[in-house]
Amino acid sequence: MVTLVLQIVVLLLNRRMNKLLLAAETAMPAEQFKSYRKQVLNEFGKGGFRKDLEDELRKQLKDRQG
């Protein structure tokens, strides 16, 4: 259950993140965009939002199961 929900959220998040990164790439100098992209991917990737979401989903599921 957690895996399915996580996959759906990550898929939807990645679509929007790609749109934002594309817009930023067209608006920023290359070096600035490189730093921005790295920060966005760190915040929303496996060590950031994705990890937080997975941890919270697992906690919620465990709490509901008692």
Residue 46 phi, psi dihedral angles, 5° rounding: -60, -25
What confidence tens digit (pLDDT) does each residue in 19-55 have? 999 999 999 999 999 999 999 999 998 899 999 999 9
**Within its chain, how far is the Cα of 31 from the centroid?**
22
Sorted by where each begins, the domain ranges of the chain are: 2-59
pTM of the model: 0.80
Distance from C-alpha of 36 to C-alpha of 33, rounded to nearest angstrom: 5
Tokens 């990645």, residue located: 14
